[in-house]
A and B are shown apart, each in its own frame.
Chain A
Amino acid sequence: MSPITSHSRFTPSRRALLLGGAGFGALTLAGCGGFVNDDGGGSGEESGSGSGGGTVTAYLSTEQNTGIEPLVEPFTADTGIELDIASVAVPDMNQQLPVQLSSGTAADLFRVSPGYSSNVAAGVLGSSGDLLDLSDAAWTGDIDDGTRALSDVDGKTYAFPVARNSLVLAYNLAVFAELGLEPPTTWPELLEVSQALTDSGRTAISHGLSGGAIYLQFYVYIFAGTLLYGPNPDLDAQMRAGETSFSDEPGWTEVFTKYLELRDKGFFTEGALGVPPDQAMQDLATGAAGMTVLTNSGLPALFEYSESGAEAFSIVAMPSSDDAGATLLPTAPDFLAVNAAAKNPDGARALLDFLAGPGNVETYANTLAVLPGLDVGAVVDNPSLEPVLPLVDEGRTVPYANYLWPNGDVQQTMLQSGQQLYADEITIPDLLAQMDAEYAKGTP
């Protein structure tokens, strides 16, 4: 066999090569198309576009994934519908969801923020037609009024409150016992307790603002809840109508003044702007600090820092005024919503109906140490939440202040410029003016 003959056997013709190249290109394109389309959970037939059977794709926060985990098998057993769940941290989800919605790859069911607090909030996505109208679901009758304001747009319900978080003041029981301290119920008591902790050589309130200063906002929502929204529940409507603003409403100045008072008295962690939030929690766990502010969904993480676990800590609603009876507990619904372009909308709605069952509301809440999302008489069986449950039962709750701000940039400005305020680089009027400027841009 000559070399030429051998060569010719393995060399494709020009036409074959061109066809092969074109074919590869087509395959590549097809592969990309398939990748994009399949991410949504398979074909309509595979995912069972009708009720009963098929697959529901869900894109949840890591906390939601933990809460829903014990309910997955019962749901599938009950309905025959499989759940295909992906979960990420909330900030990552908030960044990815707009792109997924834009490219048609979003899951059937996903987490949305309350109100208008981010570009993937129920109000924003509900207004833009990205969410399925859930108004006819039976569970909408179990949503409380405060939550409804954050899930509805023009009288239509677009989000399901799977749970509620609250902002609490956690304290180290051993440290309080050692110093003979009682948890504070009023602002003067908070200052007294903080002073006693400081005098003992400890940090009174551990506070970490490094990274994104997300813990700064908790103080704002706590103080604003009791001092502003308690006396004036219509404040958001007034601000939207342009009747008042951050700068014009004296209460906002009082909110930031109280925050800075804690700093000026030396109650916060030294050099808080350079302290990561997790270190602040560790300080509380080790007894280097006496108190800290966090969401109750952050309690399990705090408990892990202590060998005694949950028994090392207790919580209380953080006081903001001289009147203990006026203290309100800032609470935040954690929402799920159904994609308007869901491949299995009936399956997604079936999951929400399932989660709305009283027993399942209870299971979810107790798994995560959070408050029930719906008023269905669920019993909270979590000792760590007991101190704040009376406030919940009495209806002394208030939404986080930022939820009805028209866009997420108001909060972002508060966090970044708030660091400058903490460092005394700007004044409270400067900060409020910047927040007003972002507020004036309205909802995108």
Chain B
Amino acid sequence: MTSAVTTATPPRPTQPAPSGSRRSLTPAGVPYALLLPAFVLYALVVLYPTLSGALYAFTDWSGRADGTTFIGLENFAEILSDVAARSALRNSLIIAVTVTAVQTLVGLGLALVLHSSLVTRNVLRTLFFAPAMLPPVIIAFLWTFILTPQGPLNTVLRAVGLDFLAQNWLGESSLALWTVIGVVIWQNAGLTMVIYLAGLQGIPAELNESSELDGATWWQRTRLITVPLLIPATTVAMSLTLISSLKLFDQVFAMTGGGPGYSTETLSVIMYKEAFVSGRFGYSAAIALVLTMIVFAFAMVQLGALRRFEVDR
């Protein structure tokens, strides 16, 4: 049948031959030539430094041109035996897991509350999202001031009779990491909220309306319709949060410098210190490579797991 139709189709009239200049556009090399400048720039700014960094992970480079030798996997062996590196890895994982879980829940909660007919919803959305618009270092300096032992937070707590809650927030080893985590969540929960608001606005209203007519309660509609349809938004929100919290640097460095002692050091912080304080750029590059692999592995596992729960609308 197809053959018959094809056969029946009259042959297309022969197109006039393009002019010579038109022919010069068609060769396959032209698009590549157009891409070349961008590729050269990308290669210089991204590819070359990235690959160089990976190679330096296998050297004892001190940041100087001379005396760099290939040392194989020695840097990676040192990471495994380095107490500070293991402690930093533990802190990075605590931050990643806690921030990802809590920030997602807080962001989802805010989005559910503000995806309503509340009169002040737009003002509240702006207020909750505003911290995410500010540079992390500025936020960190502000909170460092607020959280000093005699700072505004403790002063307010004491003024309202909650003296027992007044703490040395950044000066206690057991508390400092959780304080930093709290500040990170405070700053970025608004961003997660925005992602969820976008997801909520994409859920067809008729689904909720029909289920409401069928007698479904708010909780049933949330559990059986809203949450499953928000899985794609959850994938985006959790992936972004996990990646940014695994490589957290700004807030930690500005608020505690990794202290007290080593209690808030993350992989990013020791990576920085090894390179720029101790001059061990090779070892620092190895930490960076390990961090990259961890971020990649976590992101892939999380992405795969969440995609399994995604449903078609």
Inter-chain contact A210/B256, CB cutoff 8 Å: yes
Supposing A211-B257, A423-B261 touch, asked if A412 and B44 sit within 8 A by C-beta, the answer is: no
Supposing A4-B22, A274-B148 touch, asked if A24 and B260 sit within 8 A by C-beta, the answer is: no
The residue in chain A whose Cβ has the minimal distance to the Cβ of B274 is A409
Query: Does A95 lie at the interface of the complex (its beta carbon under 8 Å from any beta carbon of B)?
Result: yes
The residue in chain B whose Cβ has the minimal distance to the Cβ of A438 is B278
Inter-chain contact A270/B149, CB cutoff 8 Å: yes
Inter-chain contact A14/B29, CB cutoff 8 Å: yes
Which stretch from B59-67, B157-165, B225-233, B239-247 is at the chain A interface?
A: B59-67
Inter-chain contact A119/B171, CB cutoff 8 Å: no
Which stretch from A49-57, A97-105, A244-252, A297-305 is at the chain B interface?
A: A97-105
Inter-chain contact A425/B173, CB cutoff 8 Å: yes
Docked complex: A62-111 residues within 8 A CB-CB of B: 94-95, 98-99, 101-103
Docked complex: A100-147 residues within 8 A CB-CB of B: 101-103, 119, 128
Inter-chain contact B261/A279, CB cutoff 8 Å: no
* Cβ of A66 to closest chain B Cβ, rounded Å: 24
CA distance A444 to B64 in the complex (A): 12
The residue in chain A whose Cβ has the minimal distance to the Cβ of B259 is A419
Inter-chain contact A275/B148, CB cutoff 8 Å: yes
CA distance A8 to B25 in the complex (A): 9
Which stretch from A15-23, A170-178, A191-199, A230-238 is at the chain B interface?
A: A15-23
Query: Does A379 lie at the interface of the complex (its beta carbon under 8 Å from any beta carbon of B)?
Result: no
The residue in chain A whose Cβ has the minimal distance to the Cβ of B254 is A211
CA distance A65 to B18 in the complex (A): 69
Chain A count of residues within 8 A CB distance of the other chain: 52
Inter-chain contact B279/A119, CB cutoff 8 Å: yes
Name the contact of A416 in the complex, choosing from B34, B148, B168, B258 (C-beta under 8 A).
Answer: B258
Name the contact of A412 in the complex, choosing from B33, B65, B144, B278 (C-beta under 8 A).
Answer: B278
Inter-chain contact B257/A212, CB cutoff 8 Å: yes
* A17, A102, A119, A274 — most chain B CB neighbours (10 Å): A274
Inter-chain contact B261/A24, CB cutoff 8 Å: no
Name the contact of A28 in the complex, choosing from B41, B150, B257 (C-beta under 8 A).
Answer: B41
Which residues of B sit under 8 angstroms from A181, Cβ to Cβ?
none
Query: Does A32 lie at the interface of the complex (its beta carbon under 8 Å from any beta carbon of B)?
Result: yes
CA distance A25 to B39 in the complex (A): 9
Inter-chain contact A21/B279, CB cutoff 8 Å: no
CA distance A212 to B277 in the complex (A): 12
Inter-chain contact A21/B260, CB cutoff 8 Å: no
* Cβ of B275 to closest chain A Cβ, rounded Å: 8
Inter-chain contact A271/B171, CB cutoff 8 Å: yes
Which residues of B sit under 8 angstroms from A274, Cβ to Cβ?
147-149, 168-172, 260
The residue in chain A whose Cβ has the minimal distance to the Cβ of B68 is A102
Query: Does B117 lie at the interface of the complex (its beta carbon under 8 Å from any beta carbon of A)?
Result: no
Inter-chain contact B33/A20, CB cutoff 8 Å: yes
CA distance A17 to B31 in the complex (A): 9
* B132-147 vs A, Cβ < 8 Å mask (1 yes, 0 no): 0000000000001101
Query: Does B27 lie at the interface of the complex (its beta carbon under 8 Å from any beta carbon of A)?
Result: yes
Docked complex: B24-56 residues within 8 A CB-CB of A: 24-25, 27, 29-30, 33-34, 36-37, 40-41, 44
Which residues of A sit under 8 angstroms from B44, Cβ to Cβ?
28-29, 32
Docked complex: B264-313 residues within 8 A CB-CB of A: 273, 276-279
* Cβ of A129 to closest chain B Cβ, rounded Å: 9
CA distance A409 to B274 in the complex (A): 10
Which residues of B sit under 8 angstroms from A211, Cβ to Cβ?
256-257, 259
Query: Does B262 lie at the interface of the complex (its beta carbon under 8 Å from any beta carbon of A)?
Result: yes
Supposing A28-B41, A212-B257, A274-B169 touch, asked if A409 and B278 sit within 8 A by C-beta, the answer is: yes
Supposing A8-B19, A274-B168, A408-B278 touch, asked if A24 and B257 sit within 8 A by C-beta, the answer is: no
Task: Please give 9 more A-B residue pairs, beta carbons under 8 A apart, in addition to A4-B21, A32-B44, A276-B144.
Answer: A25-B36, A209-B171, A210-B259, A211-B257, A271-B149, A274-B260, A276-B148, A423-B173, A444-B279
Chain A residues in contact with chain B, CB under 8 A? 4-5, 7-9, 11, 13-14, 17-18, 20-22, 24-25, 28-29, 32, 94-95, 98-99, 101-103, 119, 128, 209-213, 269-276, 279, 408-409, 412, 416-417, 419-420, 422-423, 425, 444
Pull 21 A–B residue pairs with CB atoms less than 8 Å apart, ordered by A. Answer: A4-B18, A7-B22, A8-B19, A13-B24, A17-B30, A17-B34, A18-B36, A21-B34, A24-B36, A24-B37, A95-B276, A128-B66, A210-B256, A211-B256, A269-B149, A274-B148, A409-B278, A412-B277, A412-B278, A419-B261, A420-B262
